[in-house]
Amino acid sequence: MLMYVPKSFPFSPYLQPLIQIAGQKIKEMGYTSGVNQPYAGSIVPMAFYHQDRRVASIMIEVNRKLYMDEMTGVKNDTFESTQNNIQTILNSLNEFQHI
């Protein structure tokens, strides 16, 4: 799994913990991760872009081989566990946002 953060948006005290939480969860699940490798950037709504340093945006990319046969598009045996793992990551980020 890869994480992308806004490459032109400075790391703020709001963004760094999200990267750490997601990275830790991904590692705990046995996946590898990188930040802004091989690509960089995430989506930030234009109304907030460079307007509010509290805006935190990360994009998590999941390798399709983890959950489907790329040739046929058919879900593989690990689809549900991958789906559950992604939900766990999102829940941990959501919990952080409510602290």
In the chain, where the domains are located = 2-94
Average pLDDT over residues 84-92: 94
Angle at 20 between CA 76 and CA 82, to 5 degrees: 10
pTM of the model: 0.77
- Mapping DSSP onto H, E and C, the string for 5-69 reads CCCCCCCCCCHHHHHHHHHHHHHHCCCCCEECCCCCCCCCCCCCCCCCCCCCCCEEECCHHHCEC
User: Rounded to an integer, what distance in angstroms lies between the CA atom of residue 98 and that of residue 91?
Assistant: 11
For the segment 19-67, what is each residue's pLDDT rounded down to a tens digit? 888 999 999 999 988 888 877 778 777 787 777 767 778 888 899 999 9
